[in-house]
Amino acid sequence: MSRKPTLAVVGATGAVGTVMLQILSQHADIWGEIRLVASPRSAGRKLAVRGEQVEVHALSEDVFDGVDVAMFDVPDEVAAQWAPVAASKGVVVVDNSAAFRMDPDVPLVVPEVNPHAARVRPRGIVANPNCTTLSMIVAVGALHAEFGLRELIVSSYQAVSGAGRDGVDTLRRQIQLVAGSELGTSPGDVRRAVGDDTGPFPEPVALNVVPWAGSLKDDGWSSEEMKVRDESRKILGLPGLRVAATCVRVPVITTHSLTVHARFEDEVTVDRAREILATAPGVVLFDNPAAGEFPTPADVVGTDPTWVGRVRRSLDDPTALELFVCGDNLRKGAALNTAQIAELVAKEFTA
């Protein structure tokens, strides 16, 4: 007999957790109990979900009793410790951290691209990709299904909220310091005005762009750049896909943007690419440069889809397309995709 499954939201008080609760209140009500979980210091707080005030429970082994699906939005080390605990109690874990993304026994799922992968989960865990990958992969996946992807060259323009609340607070402080000034007209003047208050960034982000996001990996690559490469390969089922990424932090609060050079197996046409993008689930084609119509973070923030514009065929390669894409890194880039995966799993309980 079908029933509504019980859902736990672990990390409910964080920035992405807050968006998760909004999404749960906006989407179809497929869940029975929704249990909110956070660190012990947040226990006892009440948060709004589905029009009700729900008390937050402290993260513990017992909190997963009777839970069918758990959405995790916690730091990597917390997920690494607690997701297997939940899974050992029969809970299907949908994890938004990086702890399990490249585990061969954990599927990495984008419901518009590879929903079938969510059904095979030897460890009882399904991973959610990184927000930068998610900002482009729905559009790229739709084009791959038609044309067969061979190579990706991307540059990301990443919002400061990708670095958490500290990133947002840092940009807001820096904006106040530089507002109404003549800064940005001589070498180092913004750096001197900001001083040591660069927050999670190596350089000031106000009046600036910073060609770095993540931590240092081999040969000068950053962790964000390697995530784009490794995760795109896994999601698309293309282990040999050639990918080069450069990740840049920009003075935008929320919504990542990327330029994408995608090379395919055969010759492509812009008309067919537009048809695919215009009808692909989770994609909005917004592309009329003559009228000044193309996606920007200021327009895309707070929306669910991947927005695509500036669709062109490469001037020197008839098998390649150039795109500009935007996606809200807190919604599709984190909370929404996690919720969509959980909804896929929930169907197993209601079938």
Q: What angle do CA 323, 327, 332 make, to 5 degrees?
A: 135
Q: Is 131 a catalytic residue?
A: yes
Residue 13 marked in a binding site? yes
Residue 174 marked in a binding site? no
Chain centroid to CA 242: how far?
Answer: 21
Query: Among candidates 227, 262, 215, 237, which has minimal Cα distance to 133?
Result: 227
Separation CA 182–CA 99 (nearest Å):
44
Separation CA 240–CA 157 (nearest Å):
25
Residue 158 marked in a binding site? yes
Of the candidates 131, 144, 247, 326, the residue annotated as catalytic is 131
Residue 26 marked in a binding site? no
Separation CA 269–CA 291 (nearest Å):
22
Residue 232 marked in a binding site? no
Residue 161 marked in a binding site? yes
The encoded tokens of residue 81 equal 């410790």
Separation CA 213–CA 224 (nearest Å):
6
Residue 42 marked in a binding site? yes
Residue 272 marked in a binding site? no
Q: Is 326 a catalytic residue?
A: no
Please state, as a whole number, how many other Cβ atoms lie within 10 Å of the Cβ of residue 155. 16
Q: Which amino acid is at 146?
A: E
Residue 41 marked in a binding site? yes
Q: What angle do CA 149, 275, 291 make, to 5 degrees?
A: 110
Residue 263 marked in a binding site? no
Of the candidates 57, 144, 247, 256, the residue annotated as catalytic is 256
Chain centroid to CA 268: how far?
Answer: 28
Query: Among candidates 345, 343, 325, 342, which has minimal Cα distance to 132?
Result: 325
Specify whether the CB–CB gap between 311 and 289 falls below 8 A. no
Query: Among candidates 130, 136, 132, 148, which has minimal Cα distance to 308?
Result: 136
Residues contributing to the annotated binding site = 13-16, 41-42, 101, 158, 161-162, 249, 329
Residues contributing to the annotated binding site for NADP(+) = 13-16, 41-42, 161-162, 329
Residues contributing to the annotated binding site for phosphate = 101
Residues contributing to the annotated binding site for substrate = 158, 249
Q: List the catalytic residues.
A: 131, 256
